A = this chain, B = another copy of it.
């Protein structure tokens, strides 16, 4: 086990009806906030009205900025920064999914940064402060509700970049599974793949002696795998959705990475996919992860055997560990397909071949010749992984 520091200060307020407490939570920090959200879904569902009423009751003034799209855009972040500065806003309330929260984090650091916020995403600049934010989460997926990361796309050049700072973790996040019952099932399935990916990026490590985090990771994966089919059968299955939603937070609040080196190659490889093709991040991960696994498993067969046996309940073939590994990967693919996700580029309608271009962009993004800690990947490896995903 490696040395580590773990701290996650986000207050999680979980369960039925909690969105109505948002005004009193916000008022602990501010009397004038930016209310940040996506499209019209929170208006249709009635959530918008509940939030606005709760803010008003608590005497909190708000200025609105809607319009966040999946893979949140830099241009809207600029707009948000401008709005906050002009109106002396010192708190951002994000109501929505990971994209809205990531966009809010971008605004939160940008307002207090004396320069172009995009420089933070490209590592040209750095900062040590941000406005505090709070969230009402409407889809379990990105884990942004208690993470310190934000992923943003710059339209020009279709560049997708991230930042990671402890001080952009939300002050509080309100999670009510009831709010998820109006989601499109495909989006819920994509969310599940994203949650699973957050765990697997940490699970596939060469750091030895990480039994507790392995077992906690397997526990969280199994919970998602068991409950997502129930959720997709009935989006009003509160109990099943609650399991997935809490798992989504645990998957990405840092706990499951304690004491180990993490990988994150599949996310980097996927970012270029969803950056260019604008497919859902979760769908991209369901495509990239199996290909990555097939490409790298020989680096640490034992770990993949453990994954196959403990997570996918493969009966271990002791004489042929690779058979066990491949059966595990196959079951993961079957699972993703069973919840309606593509596991090949072709299944997502991507038939052209921009592998060289995407691999180059993935490499450029890290400003190194390679990335990946479980197995180091150079440009040609990334091309090979895209090919395996065809």
Query: B-contacting residues of A (Cβ < 8 Å)?
Result: 1-18, 208-209, 211-212, 215-216, 218-220, 222-223, 226-227, 239, 242-243, 246-247, 250, 255, 258-259
Contact = CB atoms under 8 A, between A and B. Distances in A.
A258 B14 CA distance: 9
A223 to B, nearest CB: 4
Contacts of A12: 4-7
A246 B212 CA distance: 8
Nearest to A14: B4
A209 B242 contact: yes
A220 B239 CA distance: 23
A7 B253 CA distance: 12
Contact of A212 (B1, B3, B220): B220
B9 A5 contact: no
A1 B242 contact: yes
Contact of A3 (B4, B8, B9, B18): B18
A212 B247 contact: yes
A246 B259 contact: yes
Contacts of A3: 14-18
A12 to B, nearest CB: 5
Nearest to A6: B12
Contacts of A14: 3-6, 258-259
Given A16-B3, A258-B14, A219 B209 contact: no
A6 B173 CA distance: 10
Interface pairs A-B: 3 shortest CB-CB: A3-B15, A215-B219, A209-B239
Contacts of A10: 7
Given A2-B15, A219-B218, A243 B212 contact: yes
Given A1-B15, A14-B258, A239-B1, A220 B215 contact: yes
Contacts of A6: 11-12, 14
B4 A250 contact: no
B15 A7 contact: no
A7 B208 CA distance: 30
A74 to B, nearest CB: 32
Nearest to A13: B5
Contacts of A215: 218-220, 222-223
Given A212-B247, A215-B218, A215-B220, 15 more contacts: A1-B243, A1-B246, A3-B15, A3-B16, A3-B18, A4-B15, A6-B12, A7-B9, A9-B9, A209-B243, A211-B227, A216-B216, A219-B219, A246-B259, A255-B255
Contacts of A246: 1, 212, 258-259
Contacts of A5: 11-14
A14 B254 CA distance: 14
Contacts of A16: 3
A4 B220 CA distance: 18
A17 B11 CA distance: 30
B11 A7 contact: yes
A242 to B, nearest CB: 5
A203 to B, nearest CB: 13
A4 to B, nearest CB: 5
A313 B117 CA distance: 53
